[in-house]
Amino acid sequence: MATHFRSADWKTVPTRHVEATGTRFAYRRIGPDTGVPVVLLNHWGANLDNFDPWIVEGLAADRPVYALDYRGIGTSGGIAPLSIAEMADDMIAAIRALGLTSIDLIGFSLGGFVAQQILFDAPDLVRRAILAGTGPAGGIGIDRVGAVSWPLIVKGLLTFRDPKTYLFFTSSASSRRAARAFLVRLKERTRDRDKAVSPGAFLRQLKAIKAWGQQAQQPLDTIRTPVLVANGDHDIMVPSDNSTDMAHRIPGAELVLYPDAGHGGIFQYHDAFLTKAKAFLAA
């Protein structure tokens, strides 16, 4: 039985902008005025319309949820940064410009890299963090995200399917069903959709991802924020071993690996993830 909430409607919430570091950052906010705000940071090449509506709305059932566009993405101004550190600086500034002083942070994929950097740069800002489909600086295979992704992006074009079918999900029947359902959810919003991500911004983000994969490891053992790590057990984009590694290195971190699931494991198992995430954030 799906535990889907419709108290907050991601399909109709307006896109707003906040000024920070001389740039207008696009964001959407849903949910009540009370509760610890949750801030969502998304993947490579993603705009506001790439957040899973069911996860966003489920989180917003009892707390405010903010989803942000990085610099140079969607209707955010400026040029996409070439480093995760710069993206983290931007997001810290935007979060503070929104008047938020204590948040829960959920970062998916690239957003998980940015979230980790925020934990180092502004630890007092984050109460609890969820790192999904992501990996640490210098992590296994992260500098090969492009090499792994390009053939599957081309395959998507040749088969008239969204490349996320191949990048985020496994080839099993159940995972492919979940892929189709996820892609339908992403199209629920039909008005005021975000501006498409430009090829230039897409490539600049990929350079930042590659640099993250090549940089020195960070001292994850110094993180004091409670962390939940989640992924599929067959992530080919950011290999699942990275999730296990992060959970071992971050003191007290919890780890969830969803079976027969890829990079988009939290979308394939959106109900289970939502239940786990809400319990973790409520603790």
* Per-residue pLDDT band at 7 (split at 50, 70, 90): low
Whether the pLDDT of residue 236 is over 70: the answer is yes
**Model pLDDT for residues 142-192, shown as the tens digit of each residue:** 999 999 999 999 999 999 999 999 999 999 999 999 999 999 999 999 999
Q: How far apart are CA 4 and CA 165, in angstroms?
A: 23
**Model pLDDT for residues 191-216, shown as the tens digit of each residue:** 999 999 999 999 999 999 999 999 99
Whether the pLDDT of residue 276 is over 80: the answer is yes
* Per-residue pLDDT band at 8 (split at 50, 70, 90): low
Q: How far is CA 140 from CA 105, 212, 258, in A?
A: 24, 11, 19
Question: Is residue 245 within 8 Å of residue 135, measured between CB atoms?
Answer: yes
Q: How far apart are CA 175 and CA 86, in angstroms?
A: 35
pTM of the model: 0.96
Predicted local confidence at residue 1, as pLDDT: 36
CATH architecture of 16-282: 3-Layer(aba) Sandwich (3.40)
Q: How far apart are CA 283 and CA 275, in angstroms?
A: 13
**Model pLDDT for residues 77-128, shown as the tens digit of each residue:** 999 999 999 999 999 999 999 999 999 999 999 999 999 999 999 999 999 9
**Model pLDDT for residues 20-60, shown as the tens digit of each residue:** 999 999 999 999 999 999 999 999 999 999 999 999 999 99
Place of tokens 């992006």: 153
Beta bridge partners of 103: 126
Predicted local confidence at residue 6, as pLDDT: 46
Residue spans of the domains in the chain: they are 16-282
Place of tokens 């959709």: 193
